[in-house]
Structure 1
Amino acid sequence: MDNYSKPAHYFERPTEIELIRSMAKGPLTAKQNQTLNNLLQTPADSKDAFIIKPAADFLQITNNQPNTGMLFGDFWYEGELCILFADTNVGKSILAVQIGDALSRGTPIPRFAMKQQPSTVLYFDFELNDQQFAKRYTSDLHGRHQFGTSFYRVVFNPNASGAHKFNSYHDYIINALENALITSQARIIIIDNITCLRSGTQAAASAISLMHRLQTLKNKYGLSILVLAHTPKRNPARPVTRNDLQGSKMLINFADSAFAIGESQAKTEMRYLKQIKQRSGSQVYGAANVYLCEIIKHYNFLQFEFVGPGNEADHLVHYTEQHRQNTEARITRLHQQGRSLRQIAKDTGISFSTVFRLVKRLGDEEEVEQNQEC
């Protein structure tokens, strides 16, 4: 049958498939081996799903590239998707704006190395409204803070109407984000925060999907991305770990690096930065060497002021005799105010059985018997 009389459904098998079939039958011919070698040397800009090269070639490529630069000391490097997480109202947004402003100026934050060339930075602010943002960076005495000209704040457009054109909210957001990158030519973006971009009832799965899409954009455009995330209510006696990331600790699997802001239990105004994951650098700021800081407003700019190294253990709650006495006093006070045992347990975060034993030991056994089921 000639080519013109072949059925319409006929198609030629790809060369790769033919080679696999031949390999199953026996050794390849010299010509087939040459064809296989050519396929294995697919150029780097191929549209195939995989790029196959000898491992040594990747080392040569790396050696020819400039060294990865620090964007915020050892916490965040160029080309990384980094997660910054902390509890609500601890200062994530304050630090993120401070980092973004510094990068746009090419002026390092004191004590932390940073690339010296000014860069265009997109700060996607899904946390504060315009008035809240302005309040942080203005003062009656000193007026408005002069942000770097390459630092852009991005907010949701309340009049946007294009979401219905996409299969999902994720597709809509990623498309809009990609358009912003193309328009601004920015290669550094900060997203505050990932919770605001999630959709649907499966929060963890939604966040993981979003992180995967961000990694794809990062690789496509050579981006450096800082993503802010929350921690749920946590035990102040325990060190900060990856398990404290809200939604799913699996989010960190999609990140190149991660660090957290901890809240000091020794001094209420004190914070500390702790590395949680790192790939480009080494762990400098672990539990034994966190970096202490305070939030202050210099003139018209709310920012972190970095104090020096410290030990995380010194800033956790310690169950000393004094703490025990304070706990007992608080439970007693709430009990005297007429709170039920279950209400006290909920308000204090202490187990019902502990509250029950304490009130009983304090001598109000009749009241305990009446309230233990409340």
Structure 2
Amino acid sequence: MDRTDRARLDAYFQQIIKRFPVPRGITSLVVTHLLPERPVFLGALSGVTRIAAVLPKPRSIDQATLEVVRAAHPVHELSRTRFADPVTALHFLEDVAAGQQVVLLDIGGYFAGSLSTLAEKFSGRVLGVVEDTENGHQRYASLDRLPCPVVSVARSPLKEPEDHLVGRSIVFSTEALLRTRGDILTGRQATVIGFGKVGRSIAHTLRAQDLHVTVFDSSPLKQVQAHSQGFRTAESCREAIRDAGLVICATGHAALRKADFAALRNGAYVAAATSPDDELELSSLDGTYSRKSSGDHLTRYERPGHTFHLLADGGAVNFVHGAAVGSFIHLVQGEILAAAASIAKGGAVPGLHEVSTGDRQDIARLWLQHFLS
């Protein structure tokens, strides 16, 4: 990011903070992708909260960015197991933010499994959670009781441009990796599992590149939507993947289980749009398939009579090439700051919430002023 772009982004975030002020004395914990533009967002957040911990998602860490962030903020390791266990999660929160008023900024529902314990036993107060992803939204929504407000931006109209571009970046990275083996996408049979916003973008992008695309979604409503948009649909996941030379998973939860892998077409490529622990039950293949590198960011899974190739170790394949979506990411970051401000002010009852339409309109207006001028 050059000096002019940085100044533009700083000015945008300052206007966001002015429009959505945060009361003094708030502490934040931040789950985040560490991509090159992220230090500016963290700098804006640190201007209105004390960042007690930056928790980088393991498969989306740019090393140069990590060093920049580490020089400015405390950085800690992120893992599902650390925060799924309520006792471990509580000890961590006490270590970094004892007695403080805390807002948790999440990407993927990492705090969902321990949230009740954190809210009830923490020496300070967990004011609430901001969640960025559909996967995380579903994790919080599935809890029997939310002990504090959870503001989700996952289904926001401001996130739709990002989701569309994420889908396109996933197809770009998929083809780039196939080309390292002398393969291309054009003419293949492809299956997209999941027809949410990202899956829909993937399916349309694949079709535009002359692939024959089948869609499977566990929701009949999504199946109808896919069919109405001209895609072939299948009644089951195994039917959908049986003849596909490429399978891209975009569900945010377990898309392929042990028996599904066995149903893959011999030699198929498999890619995912989110974390491997969310999309793919790879651990179920231990002792059944051998693994070895078959190219850059490609792993060949093999057993007698059957092979398939996994891209990017099952992680979000677009992060191989930086997962860039341009300035549209700042729409979502602006809404995250607005959501954190609304939680910090208090007054919201425990449960799932969204940023208001009026506030989203203001964020969009500020973005247009700064990035289209």
TM over 0.5: no
Q: TM-score, structure 1 length as denominator? A: 0.31
Q: TM-score, structure 2 length as denominator? A: 0.31
Select the structure of larger CA radius of gyration: 1
Structure having the higher helix fraction is 2
